[in-house]
Structures are given as C-alpha cells and as structure tokens.
Structure 1
Amino acid sequence: MAGLTAFSQTVWEPVLAKSRRAVVFMDEPCAEVLHWCGGAELFLAAGALDVKEFSSFESGSPRQPKAVFVVSSPLRGRTLDVIKDVVSQSAFQYCIVVTAMSPGEAEGRTVHEQLEEKLCEWMGNMGYTAEVLWAPILLAPVSPCLLLAPAFHYLFPLLPGTDLQTLNRSRPDKKRFPGLADVDFPSLPPELQAQIKNLVSGVNNIMEGIGVREECFSVGHLSRIVAGELANYPQAKNRRKTAQNKASLVFVDRTLDITGAVGHHGDSLVEKILSVLPSLPGQKNDVMINMNELTDLRIDGENEGIIAPGCLSQPSDASAKSLWESMLTMKQKEAVMEVRRHLVDAASREKLPIKMGMGRVTPEQLKSHVLLFKQNKQALENHCGLLQLALAAVQALKHPQCSKWDVFLAFERLVLQVYAPTTDADEETIEDYTGKTAISS
C-alpha cells in the first residue's frame, strides 16, 4: 500500500510541471483525487494562474493564453464537447489536455494527434501549440491503507432481476442466460463494456506504475469478468513478463458488501461522520465541517456560512494525518479518546489552559477543548487540520441522526440474535463455503 500511496502522489508531477502560467480546468473525479493529494494549492504553488471546474460555462480571460485540461474520462463524446466549448470562447494560444484513461498504443498516438489538430482549430490558429497527454490520475489516497478511485464510483454489478431480464430480452429463447454466472463480457451492454475497459486500463497503469505482476482473483459475477479482462489485456501480458514484484489482486462485487450501505455497525466514528455530515460539493468521500464556532464574525447576530467549511483531508498536517489514520482503524470509543489525546497534546504545546479529564469522553468535552484554540490565533493556525477533525467528531456525535443510528443498531443486533444465532457449526459451514466456491481465479 505504501507503493500505491507514493504512486498516487507522483503521477501529478508531470501535470503540475505543465501548469505554469496556465488556467487549469479539472473534472470532479480528478479534483477529488487531487483533494486527497494536497488540493488546488499544489497547482498554485507550481505557478498555475487559476483552477476551475471542467464545464462549458467556464472560460479563460484574455490575459490567460495557456490552458490545461485534466479529465478522468476518454477523449470523446461529452468530454470533447466541453473542451471545445471552453477553448472556443477563450483566447488560448497553448492548450494541454491530460486524460487519466490510456488508449491503446497505436490507437492512442492517432487519437492524440487528431485531437491536437482540433485544439489548434478551436483556438483559431493552426500555428498555436497543443499537446495531448495521459497520466494515471485514478487513486485518491484517503489513508495509507485505503485508496479510492472516484472515477469509477458509478460502476455497479448487474443484478439477477431486472438486469438479467434486460440482457435476455434481446436474445433468442434457446440462448438466454439462466443466471449471471453464465454472462460473459461480449454479452454486456456497450456502455458497461466501455466502463470495464476503462477500469482494466486504469488498473493496468497502476500495476505498471508500481512494477507489479499480479495474480487475479474474483468474488462475484462482474468481478469475474473484470479479472478475466485484466488477465487477458495485451498491455498487462507484456507488463507481467518484466515486472519484478508479485501481488495478489482480488476483485469483489459491491453487491456482496451491500450491508455496509444499509447497516448501522456502530463501531466506526468515521462511518458516522461520513453518514451524517453533508458531503463536500463535488466529492463522494469527504464532508463539510462547520467551522463557524472558531470565529467571532457576526452578521445580524449570526455567523452561519461566513467561513469556508472544513474537511477530513489534511495531507499537509502531520498531526491531523496521524489522527485521521487512527480514526479510520480504531473503534469509535478508542477513536474519540484519540481525538481528545491529540487536542490535549496540541493545547499543552501551545500552553493553553487545558485540563485532562478522566473517564468517558463526551462531545461537549471535546468541543470545550477545541474552543480553547479560538482565543489564540497562532495556535488556531498551527493546528487547523486537527481542529477540523475534532469538530467533525463533535458534530457527528451530537447530530440528531446519531441517536437514531444507535436505536437501529440495537434492533439489528436483536434480529441477528433471534433469527441467526451463531454456532460453531455455522461458522465452519461459512468458512468452508467461502474457501471452496466464493473465490475463483
């Protein structure tokens, strides 16, 4: 995982190098990856003039002759339309397009050359400069042990009911699929085939980036197809001949983990934070944390929405990063105690009048610790990342939905005790079933 985390950071370096004196247009999946790698500050520090949304409603000013487009999708369809709209209504003389999806080698050169010509045409002068590049910007390093791929959040396995019926509707009666286990890649809808090809290409780029030859396994019907496509992917075959390191790669259908979306497990503070706090705009895996309690600004007696919300991603704050990793891996009670410990340590270093309480940690106690930093501007700046995570914990634990969560959790446990008592025999059956049939290469 350490290699993947480092890889997810280094893939930005050539993109940042191209952004000097440019206005950068970025789609939401790439922006979310960047968010967990350091944020827009990376581009501004590299000399970019501005970072904007990838949208037909955006454009560059007359004093911005250079543009960089960073997209997570193949260079066709709606993606090309947006690039054309932005370029046509701007005064660019130099355009660079970076895509996270790598086409085939021969095909890629042809497609890139054709797009470079179109970019010059859209800029209004065939003598202007255009470049089309690719970089595997796919993984958002939420933590060293958890990396997400926002560009594929929409990819979902087929379901045995309506999806299977839809597949069979266009097939002769004698060739209809009895179940999803019989479905193969050519039988999938064209849109799903394209999504799987993009995923396979992205995974191959990642494996190439860390120098790994993988052995593929799968759990679930769609995962079987994805693993098979990766195993037979021509570029992957060539890579596996020369890669120095080995790894096992297991694909798991999201439908096999559906309880994570509808259950109330109760042991994770991060799960509650992600469930009850509002999502950060354009993000699938981060939330907005209300920071107004740390300011004295008022408008008509209210401070609602005066300052920007906080978030969970704090890659540049070592203390906050350490706390976030603990919150991800610890049970809720331990995570809350860890939040208090970090607050006490930070307050002690800043010589704030904090008292280390004993016993159960409450949201009110954490909030009182956080508010100590409000009176010291330098301390507030020094520990801003830590204070955002602490306030996220406070706001989640005090949220009205939190009490309902605990009630639902109690009911779920009661149902399990009444209708699914666990015995040694049951555990052995589950283990045997998993080992024999759930995983296949």
Structure 2
Amino acid sequence: MMSGSPKEFGRACWNEVYNRIIGAVVFLDDNSAECLHWDGGLFNLLTGGAVAVQSLSPFECAKKEHKKAVFITQSTSTQLQTIREIIRNSDFVHCILISCMSLDVVYLELNEGKDVTDIVSAGKAFSEATKQLEGMLVEWMGKKQCSTEVIHVPIFTICPTNAVFLTPPYQKIYPSFNGNLIPESNSIDLYTLNSEERSQVRRLASGLNSMFESMNLKEDVFYMGVYSSLVAGVLENSPVCLARRKNCTNPVSLLIIDRTLDLCGITSHSMECLLDKVMSVLPRFPGHSNDVAVDMSPLCEANVITHPDDIQLAAGCLYHADDDACTQTFDYMINKSQKEVMFDLYNKLSKIDVQKSPGPKTLLKVTPLSVEKIVIASKGNYDIIGKHIGVLQQALGVVQTLKSPKRNQMELVMGLERQVHQSLAASRESTSVLHQNLLALITHVYSLTGTEVSFNKQHEDTLTEMLSVAIFEDHKTLLSNPDPGMATPEGCAEMAGKIMKKLKDVSQMRKILNKYTSVLKASESGVGYEYVGVLQQLVHEMTSCERPELSDLRHRHDGLKDILRTGFNMLTSKKSRSAKHPLDNPTVLLFVVGGVTAEECKQLHRSMITSGVDNALIIGSTKFVNPVEAMRDALDI
C-alpha cells in the first residue's frame, strides 16, 4: 500500500520550510502563498519565527535590521531576477532559497540553449544547479562574509479532501501545442513544443516525481491524450525519474488524462455539487485559483462598494485549514447534497446564535435566509466573530451564491443544456441550438457532439456573425485580455473566426479514441439521454469485473526489453491479453491535465466505491474549474 497521502506529503513539505524561517523575512510567490493558505496560512510562518512575510515582488525589500531572508519560489527566470532585485535593495548576510521546483529542471532552464547532455545523463544536474544558484546569491549579496543555502522542497500541492489534490503552480498548464488544441504533426515529442510549453511539461512531471519520491511510490504510467503522452514520457525516461523508481517500492498506477478529450463536464452548468456552484458564482480569492472571495461586509461596519477589489475590507474565503469543523464543511460541499450542507451550516451556526433561532431539529427546511439571519445577528459582535470566523465566512459564501442573480442565469443555461442533450441524441444532426449566444454552452455543445454531428454551414456562419457582434458589444467581459483591435468590427470578425476554429478543434478531440468517442448515452431510466463523461466511462470499465480491454488507455513500456518480450504486438493498436491493467496495483492515481470539477471528483470516487474493488483512488488535477474558465482555457480567449 501507499506510504502516506498527498495531504501528509504537503504537510511534510511545509514542515521543512518551518524549520528554516526563524528570524527570517520570508518572501513567497503567489503559487506558494496559495499552497500555504491550504496548510494553515500566514500565521504558520509568523508563529513559526518569521520576523516578516512579504510577496515576491521587485518592489519589495527588507528593513535594514533584517539580515536573514528565505525565498519560497518556483525558481522561474523571472522570479530569480526578482530575488536579485530584493537582495540588492536589502542588507542580507544569510539567504536561503527554497526552490519548489526540482533543481534538475531549474538547471535545464538556467542553461537553455547549451549542450548539457553529459551532465544531465550523469545525474549531476541537481548538484550543478545548486552551485550555480548559490553563486548567484553570493554575487547579489556582494559581501565577503555571507552564507547561502539552496534546497528543493516540492511545494506544489493543496488537498481539498484526503483523496483529491490540486497543483496551483501548474494551474495554467493546458493540453495545447503552440496555441493549438490539436498538434500539427502526428509525430510529436517535447521538442515539437515551444520552450515555455516544454518547460511546463517538465515542471509538471518533475512535481509528480517529487511527490512519488516522498511517498515511496513506483508507478506504472498510463495515459490518454497526446499532451499526457509527453508528461508520461518524461516520467518514464528522465534520469531523475529512472533513479527514483529503482529505490521506491510501493506500486501505484498513474493515469494521466488530457482534459480536452472531454470538456462537457466542466462547461456544464448542471451542477449538483454545492462547491461547484460557489466556484461558478463568486469571484476568485485574490491571487488564488481554488478558493473564492466572500464579501464580509454583512458582518462589519465598512461600506464596501466594489467587493472584492475594495481594499477597505479583506475578503473572506471557504477553506480554513486550522478549523476542523470548517474542513469538514468544505468536504461536505464536495461530497454531500446542498440540503445536507445547509443543515450542517445551520447546526454549527445555531451554537453561536445570539438571537436563539429555532433549533435545526425543528426546521423542515434550511433556507439561505434562515442561515443569513443567524450570521447577520453577529454583526459588530467582534468577540463572536473572532471565535467563529471560519464558519461565518463559509455561511456567507453559500448564502451569497444561492442568492446571486447569476444563479438565475445558470438555471436558464441548465434548461438549455437539457434541451440540447435530448435534441442532439434524438436527431443526431444539426439543430438550431447553435443560435444560442452563450459561449460556455457552445463549447459544451461542440465537445458533446464530437465527431458524431456535422453542423450545418449556414448555422455556423450565423453563429460566427453573432459571436462577432457579441465580442464588439461586450469584449471587455467576454474576453479575459481584450486588445484594442476588439473595438473595430474587423477585429471582432477575426476573433470570431478564431473562436470557431477552436470550437471545431474541440469537436475533434475524441477522434483519437476507440471506445470513448461518444459521451451522450441513453439514460438508465430508459427516458431520454444523459451525459456520461470520458473519465466516468473509463473508471466504470476499469472497475468492471469482466476486465474489458482498455484500448484507449495507453501504457508506457519499459523500453527495449518490452519490445524484445512482446515482439511486434506493441506496435499494433490491439493489446495483448497480458497487458498491464491499472487495478494490478493497490492504488490508482488519476491526474487530469487542465482542471476538474468537484462533482467529477465525487462521482468518480463513488463509482470506485460502489464497484466493490479494493483499490484506492486518488484524483489529482491542475485546478478546480468552472464553465467560464473552462471555456476560456479551451478557446484561449
């Protein structure tokens, strides 16, 4: 069985940091700060001995009397330049660089364009990077008497539950190739990518490798999707990974899946899971990808105008690592129904209720108003607020979600989605649903139909025109980074054309699959059709007692010895019956490149449990994602 869990891995990493911060000014990049939030937050550093905590910014520096600095960073070239500026504007004599990225990858990036093959193949990249970075720190401090330390601590995970982990530093990684969803060539390797994309693949693979080393895991790598094949290739063949597998003993099946094979689940507004609803309605917590900003003005006197940008009042959030009751509620927001979460919140709030509202046992239904009433009764009572700040933030977040006008908009889109499913399944031909000018829904439709439906050209031309008009009228909110050209009809028409090309690519993503080409299945009730995602189909077949052949799930072989052992069988698409199966190992780790929803995590775990197999399932991904974010990732807008 596995040694430890992803949550224990993350905690062990932060303990390594806490051991080094006494008397230091700590500088963190945004991704490390997000990871810290899920381990306990700022006070972990301050109570652990740090004299100050600051963001990793070229505009920051330390006070004259502060002589020790700890930098917690992903060690990108930009961040190293920032560290240089901070050191030069401060008076440090002791600098510790904690690289969250493995130093063998940092070495490749520091020496981009140079031939370092011999050093890498000899396994010396890590030590050479350490020397190089220590030399840079000494040079920047410019003192004869100074000390430096460079270490690797793989801080890159957060754990919303014990069986789910996300990777904030890799939140922007998406299965694309030089901006395209589909690679231009069938023959693809790392050097088909541009240098930034190549670095992202290496960084993601290196992070997983560091986790496996800490947890003593030796993986069988399976993959589905072209991008995932690249990540699998690095894990299988890099010298660092090869060396680690020789020493690790606990077997695990690692399944790496491209999100782009199925965008339906994450662009759907039909959400059962309360956390997905909150993530879709409330803005992100500033600088974070996996928590939301809760408007705290109902509890205090501040007159907030533009939450969460108004700096008069700090935003609240959902996750509170140091409060067991809150972590339990967060787990419920993923794994239990909305009704159960509401009763849970009401029950916890009733213990601090200053107005003595009806007890939870006497209520037939807990509404947003009944929860809000208890919360607002605490307004201005800062003793109560201070003691119960976590549950109050969670309650406000849920209330603000369920009362938001956005919920009505989402209900409308949900109704449209249901009509789309039944219409497409019944006719299997183009319908007028493309005339709906809702970009997330359109992305959902194109991914849903895949290669099974060819849309009428006239309908698509009409849609392109509608998109062009929508971009012209609303480009500031529709596009994440609008450029000045969007103010002209010509610029909007060009953008609409690019979006249509991406949508057509989305519909082709499952073309490489054999069995999971369709995600629209007849409902088990016998009435209508329903969406059954690629991940859900994979887990269902993987856990089937009949052990059907998982032809779409490729397995990374060990190299030449497998070719000799299997002859030419491995070169054909049909696998031999002796092929590796994910359930051959006691733990299955399913990692989705490009984001998941909380609902997917819940359903996949439920499928695993109800199947009756004894294997444990861990789900990892780059981030939690909502429909609008998923659409923007896929269409790159």
Q: Does 1:309 align with 2:327?
A: no
2:589 aligns with none
Offset of 1:94 from its aligned partner? 1.0
2:33 aligns with 31
Q: Is the 8 A contact 2:98 2:152 kept in 1?
A: yes
Q: Is the 8 A contact 1:100 1:135 kept in 2?
A: yes
Q: Distance in 2 between matches of 1:352 and 1:362?
A: 17
Write the letter of the residue equivalent to 1:85: E
Q: Distance in 2 between matches of 1:266 and 1:369?
A: 27
Q: Does 1:359 align with 2:361?
A: no
Q: Distance in 2 between matches of 1:116 and 1:138?
A: 23
Q: Is the 8 A contact 2:24 2:69 kept in 1?
A: yes
Change (3 A) 1:436 1:160: farther
SS at match of 1:214: strand
Write the letter of the residue equivalent to 1:102: S
Change (3 A) 1:159 1:102: closer
SS at match of 1:205: helix
1:69 aligns with 71
Q: How does 1:116-155 map to 2 (within 5 A)?
A: 116-155=134-173
Greater CA drift, 111-120 or 133-142: 111-120
Q: Distance in 2 between matches of 1:221 and 1:299?
A: 47
Write the letter of the residue equivalent to 2:47: A
Greater CA drift, 114-123 or 222-231: 114-123
* Matching residue within 548, 553, 556 for 1:439: 553
Greater CA drift, 79-88 or 370-379: 370-379
Q: Distance in 2 between matches of 1:327 and 1:87?
A: 43
2:282 aligns with 277
Q: Is the 8 A contact 1:200 1:230 kept in 2?
A: yes
* Matching residue within 393, 407, 413 for 1:408: 413
Q: How does 1:314-329 map to 2 (within 5 A)?
A: 314-329=320-335
Change (3 A) 1:161 1:25: closer
Write the letter of the residue equivalent to 1:112: T
1:66-89 Cα offsets, whole Å, 9 max, x none, are 111110234xx2222111111111
2:200 aligns with 195
Question: Taking every aligned residue pair, what percent have the same amino acid on both sides?
Answer: 31
Q: Distance in 1 between matches of 2:388 and 2:398?
A: 16
1:395 aligns with 400
Q: Distance in 2 between matches of 1:232 and 1:408?
A: 45
Write the letter of the residue equivalent to 1:246: P
* Matching residue within 225, 231, 241 for 1:226: 231
SS at match of 1:158: coil
Q: Distance in 1 between matches of 2:174 and 2:266?
A: 14
Q: Distance in 2 between matches of 1:299 and 1:206?
A: 42
Q: How does 1:79-228 map to 2 (within 5 A)?
A: 79-104=79-104, 105-158=123-176, 162=180, 168=184, 177=185, 179=186, 182-228=187-233
Change (3 A) 1:132 1:242: closer
Q: Distance in 1 between matches of 2:172 and 2:179?
A: 19
Change (3 A) 1:196 1:299: closer
SS at match of 2:91: coil
Write the letter of the residue equivalent to 2:313: I
Q: Distance in 2 between matches of 1:278 and 1:296?
A: 22
* Matching residue within 12, 19, 26 for 1:17: 19
Q: Distance in 2 between matches of 1:386 and 1:255?
A: 36
Q: Distance in 1 between matches of 2:180 and 2:232?
A: 24
SS at match of 2:124: helix
Greater CA drift, 234-243 or 125-134: 234-243
Offset of 1:159 from its aligned partner? 6.0
Change (3 A) 1:258 1:163: closer
1:146-189 Cα offsets, whole Å, 9 max, x none, are 2111111111112699465xx65xxxxxxxx2x4xx32233222
Q: Does 1:262 align with 2:267?
A: yes
SS at match of 1:44: helix
Q: Distance in 2 between matches of 1:384 and 1:46?
A: 22
Q: Is the 8 A contact 2:301 2:380 kept in 1?
A: no
Write the letter of the residue equivalent to 2:277: K
Offset of 1:265 from its aligned partner? 2.0
Write the letter of the residue equivalent to 2:553: I
Change (3 A) 1:160 1:332: farther
SS at match of 2:69: strand
1:338 aligns with 344
Change (3 A) 1:305 1:82: closer
Q: Distance in 1 between matches of 2:366 and 2:203?
A: 47
Q: Distance in 2 between matches of 1:354 and 1:305?
A: 33
2:253 aligns with 248
Change (3 A) 1:264 1:101: same
2:610 aligns with none
2:485 aligns with none
Offset of 1:103 from its aligned partner? 2.5
2:59 aligns with 57
Q: Distance in 1 between matches of 2:99 and 2:311?
A: 35
Q: Is the 8 A contact 1:266 1:406 kept in 2?
A: no
Q: Does 1:372 align with 2:374?
A: no
Q: Is the 8 A contact 1:117 1:126 kept in 2?
A: no
Write the letter of the residue equivalent to 1:215: D
Q: Is the 8 A contact 2:61 2:89 kept in 1?
A: yes
Compare relative contact order (CA 8 Å, sep 6+) and give the higher one, 1 or 2: 2
Offset of 1:243 from its aligned partner? 2.0
Write the letter of the residue equivalent to 2:75: S
Offset of 1:264 from its aligned partner? 0.2
SS at match of 1:154: coil
Q: Is the 8 A contact 1:266 1:332 kept in 2?
A: no
SS at match of 1:67: strand
Change (3 A) 1:100 1:247: same
SS at match of 1:408: helix
2:469 aligns with none
Greater CA drift, 233-242 or 131-140: 233-242
* Matching residue within 366, 386, 390 for 1:385: 390
Offset of 1:352 from its aligned partner? 5.5
Give the gaps of 5 or more residues in structure 1: 169-176
Give the gaps of 5 or more residues in structure 2: 105-122, 427-520, 542-548, 556-637
Change (3 A) 1:238 1:293: same
Q: Is the 8 A contact 2:354 2:377 kept in 1?
A: no
Offset of 1:108 from its aligned partner? 2.1
Write the letter of the residue equivalent to 1:136: P
Change (3 A) 1:284 1:298: closer
Change (3 A) 1:359 1:305: farther
Offset of 1:133 from its aligned partner? 1.1
1:334-388 Cα offsets, whole Å, 9 max, x none, are 33333223323x33xx776121353333211110122233475443333211111
Q: How does 1:293-304 map to 2 (within 5 A)?
A: 293-296=298-301
* Matching residue within 393, 416, 424 for 1:419: 424
Q: Is the 8 A contact 1:27 1:70 kept in 2?
A: yes
Q: Is the 8 A contact 1:292 1:305 kept in 2?
A: no
2:78 aligns with 78
Q: Is the 8 A contact 1:33 1:150 kept in 2?
A: yes
Offset of 1:238 from its aligned partner? 2.6
